[in-house]
Chains A and B, each alone.
Chain A
Amino acid sequence: MLNGVFEWEKPLIELEKKIEELRRFTKEEGIDFSAEIATLESRAENLRHDIYSRLTPWQKVMIARHPRRPTCLDYIELIFDDFFELHGDRTIRDDPAMVGGIALLEGRPVTVIGPQKGKDTKDNIARNFGLPHPEGYRKALRLMRQAEKFRRPIISLIDVVGAYPGIEAEQRGQGVVIAENIRQMSFLKVPIICVVTGEGGSGGALAIGVGDRILMLENAWYSVCSPEMCAQILWKDTKKAEEAAESLCLTAQDLLAWKVIDEIIPEPPGGAHRNHETVAMTLKEALLRHLQELEAQGADELVAKRIDRYRQIGVVW
């Protein structure tokens, strides 16, 4: 990838640049290029369809990891009217790899949580590349319990390759915290909508991923672990990650077929990084629609249906 452009989309990006140039020329020089532009536009459209309609699972993983892909805080900024961030797990510290707080969705208070990746190298180091420690998950759980108390719906924006594998993380019970989150989320008496916006890796994603609706962006991936980890564990070779991505069936389309997710949120051609605004608005519409459905249900019905949903996964194969 060079300047945020993938190898496979290079011809298209170059064509788009040419069209842009001709437009500028038309404007600045007053020469009419409309016929040329129209020809190029239709060629670009074909190319766009050609390239983006048959992305491989590995290409999707790459798009999900694009450095300019919207992060949790980007979505919060674009979707909600207001956001007040809440910090800390009340036990050890505030984990910057996980953010959360109260936001207004079309005027109504909701609790939003999600792992936060950095915008650049410096930010990424501060945010530990969006890999939460146990205290991050504990903070998320604290905010979710708070949401239940005040009957606020919960929106979980998931973009995490996995829970952080470090010495302190293990000391502070990464496994125990994940289990506890999964258990408690399962029985919360408020609507929970989870959205896999980028990466969804292992228990680190599921620890904030149990809900009544699971949505997934078109180019996001979600699986038992990252393709690299799978390749490492099964074949002792991280270079086989591409092969692992194929084998793991980790795309949104695969997961919809398994009924693990409920809906795919379309992205602009090429990926969410190419237009933050568009994908955020599409997601907002879906959130409002699902929330309306969920809020029509009583709390007990909500929990019963949630439990039943997971109970059915993998029953008969």
Chain B
Amino acid sequence: MLSVFWGKQKYVTIKPREPSSGPVADGLWTRCPSCSSLLYTKELTKNLSVCDRCSHHFRMSAWDRVLHLLDADSFQEIDQDLEGGNPLGFSGYEQKLAKSREKTGLTEACLTGEGRLSGHQLVFGAIDFGFIGGTMGTVVGEKVCRAFEYALTKRLPVVMVSAGGGGARMHEGILSLMQMAKTSQAVERHSQAGLLYICVLTDPTMGGIYASFASLADIILAEPQALIGFAGPRVVEETIRQKLPSGFQRAEFALNNGMVDAIIERKELRKVLARLLLYHDRGGRQLC
């Protein structure tokens, strides 16, 4: 992988992936954007939205993350009614919110709650890319904050699954930016109490979400090939006026550069999280 940056370099232009609206909604067949195979949608869903030919990880909705990772019927959503308005009066924003609410069934881009993962009680949060690209405005910031505060009060670990395409939400201007400070502080207060926070970076985790709570976990995991970074690849390409190296800002790039602890395939994710939660079990009892 490092050879990409040293010696003879092969440059390719990165094509931003088509936002897959989740394979479930697309009818009987779904085409894999990576290997172009035509996949039977039902099978794909059963396979955790991972292509069984090339192991391309499709994006997952926040609720699918809950279904995949948490013990059946253990999840209790918190702050589900928290809904934002249009503080800046940004033109077209209300319509955008309404459309996203209809499409995802969520009130905002972030889903938070308490649940169990292999028997471990925890606070769980997931960002939904389908909701304005999983961007963080005031409500997402507030929900993330409250989730950490709730975990602090109940002395629970936090597992977050991040996916924020654009990072901070443009339509809420400076107020979005300030959520980076607010969420970082909530993470730190939780951390100072000696509590565990694991973040799973999924495709894509960029900008303000990456540069705040998503980077501040005790343990940072990433899904294979997830786009992870601060500046968007197109912005980088336009700034430096040269083609980007292949694999730029993918999870493997982040791992090689020391920005994540491990890349975990989706089918292993639940097991790995359970193992890490067990290591940090508060009882401090002897393991195995």
A interface vs B, CB < 8 Å? 162-167, 169-176, 178-180, 182-183, 186-187, 202-203, 206-207, 210, 222-225, 229-230, 232-234, 247-250, 254-255, 258, 260, 307, 310-311, 313-315, 317
Asked whether A223 lies within 8 Å of B184 as measured between CB atoms, the reply is no
Given contacts A182-B180, A186-B181, A186-B185, contact A202 B175 (CB under 8 A): no
Asked whether B236 lies within 8 Å of A167 as measured between CB atoms, the reply is yes
Asked if B281 is at the interface (CB within 8 A of a chain A CB), the reply is no
A to B contact number (C-beta, < 8 Å): 176
Given A165-B239, A174-B229, 19 new contacts (CB under 8 A):
A163-B231, A170-B229, A174-B230, A175-B207, A176-B215, A176-B259, A178-B180, A179-B211, A182-B211, A202-B168, A224-B177, A230-B170, A232-B235, A247-B88, A248-B174, A258-B175, A313-B181, A313-B182, A314-B179
| A249 neighbours in B (Cβ, 8 Å) | 88, 173-174
Asked whether B168 lies within 8 Å of A165 as measured between CB atoms, the reply is no
Given contacts A234-B170, A311-B182, contact A203 B177 (CB under 8 A): yes
Q: Could you mark each residue 202-217 of chain B with 1 if its beta carbon is under 8 Å from any beta carbon of chain A, else 0?
A: 0000111011111110
Cα A315 to Cα B240 in complex, Å, equals 39
From A171, A210, A311, give the contact of B257 (CB < 8 A): A171
Cα A166 to Cα B187 in complex, Å, equals 28
| B228 neighbours in A (Cβ, 8 Å) | 175
Chain A, residue nearest B181 (CB): A310
Asked if B194 is at the interface (CB within 8 A of a chain A CB), the reply is no
Asked whether A248 lies within 8 Å of B178 as measured between CB atoms, the reply is no
B interface vs A, CB < 8 Å? 5, 84-85, 87-88, 90-91, 137-139, 141-142, 145, 166-170, 172-182, 184-185, 187-189, 206-208, 210-216, 228-232, 235-236, 239-240, 244-245, 248-249, 253, 257-259
Chain A, residue nearest B83 (CB): A317
Asked whether A170 lies within 8 Å of B249 as measured between CB atoms, the reply is yes
Cα A105 to Cα B140 in complex, Å, equals 40
| B182 neighbours in A (Cβ, 8 Å) | 310-311, 313-314
- Which one of A169, A187, A224, A249 has the greatest number of beta carbons of chain B within 10 Å? A224
Cα A180 to Cα B185 in complex, Å, equals 11
- In the A-B complex, the 9 residue pairs with the smallest Cβ-Cβ separation, listed nearest first, are A314-B138, A165-B231, A175-B230, A179-B215, A178-B211, A174-B230, A175-B210, A175-B211, A203-B211
Asked whether A314 lies within 8 Å of B230 as measured between CB atoms, the reply is no
From A164, A210, A224, A315, give the contact of B173 (CB < 8 A): A224
| Nearest Cβ on chain A to B186's Cβ, whole angstroms | 8
From B235, B257, B259, give the contact of A229 (CB < 8 A): B235
Chain A, residue nearest B96 (CB): A234
| B259 neighbours in A (Cβ, 8 Å) | 173, 175-176
Asked whether B85 lies within 8 Å of A317 as measured between CB atoms, the reply is yes
Chain A, residue nearest B141 (CB): A314
Question: Dominant SS at the B interface?
Answer: helix
| Nearest Cβ on chain B to A171's Cβ, whole angstroms | 5
Given contacts A210-B181, A224-B208, contact A172 B215 (CB under 8 A): no
Asked whether B178 lies within 8 Å of A170 as measured between CB atoms, the reply is no
Chain A, residue nearest B213 (CB): A179
Asked whether B257 lies within 8 Å of A173 as measured between CB atoms, the reply is yes
| B177 neighbours in A (Cβ, 8 Å) | 202-203, 206, 223-224
- Which one of A171, A223, A229 has the greatest number of beta carbons of chain B within 10 Å? A171
Asked whether B174 lies within 8 Å of A167 as measured between CB atoms, the reply is no
A-B contact pairs, 20 of them (CB 8 A): A162-B231, A166-B236, A166-B240, A173-B258, A175-B207, A182-B181, A186-B184, A187-B185, A202-B177, A203-B230, A206-B180, A207-B211, A223-B173, A224-B168, A224-B170, A224-B177, A224-B208, A225-B170, A247-B173, A314-B172
From B90, B167, B232, B248, give the contact of A167 (CB < 8 A): B248
Question: Dominant SS at the A interface?
Answer: helix
Cα A125 to Cα B258 in complex, Å, equals 29
| A187 neighbours in B (Cβ, 8 Å) | 185, 188
| Nearest Cβ on chain B to A310's Cβ, whole angstroms | 5
| Nearest Cβ on chain B to A212's Cβ, whole angstroms | 13
| A165 neighbours in B (Cβ, 8 Å) | 230-232, 235-236, 239
Asked whether A182 lies within 8 Å of B184 as measured between CB atoms, the reply is yes
Asked whether B231 lies within 8 Å of A170 as measured between CB atoms, the reply is yes
Asked whether A313 lies within 8 Å of B175 as measured between CB atoms, the reply is yes
Given contacts A203-B207, A223-B177, A314-B142, contact A174 B170 (CB under 8 A): no
| A180 neighbours in B (Cβ, 8 Å) | 215-216
Given contacts A166-B236, A174-B230, contact A233 B166 (CB under 8 A): yes
- Which one of B85, B177, B210, B245 has the greatest number of beta carbons of chain A within 10 Å? B177
| A202 neighbours in B (Cβ, 8 Å) | 168, 177, 207-208
Cα A209 to Cα B168 in complex, Å, equals 16
| B168 neighbours in A (Cβ, 8 Å) | 202-203, 224-225
Given contacts A170-B248, A224-B173, A225-B170, contact A311 B229 (CB under 8 A): no
Asked whether B174 lies within 8 Å of A175 as measured between CB atoms, the reply is no
Asked whether A169 lies within 8 Å of B187 as measured between CB atoms, the reply is no
| A258 neighbours in B (Cβ, 8 Å) | 87, 174-175
| B170 neighbours in A (Cβ, 8 Å) | 224-225, 230, 233-234, 248
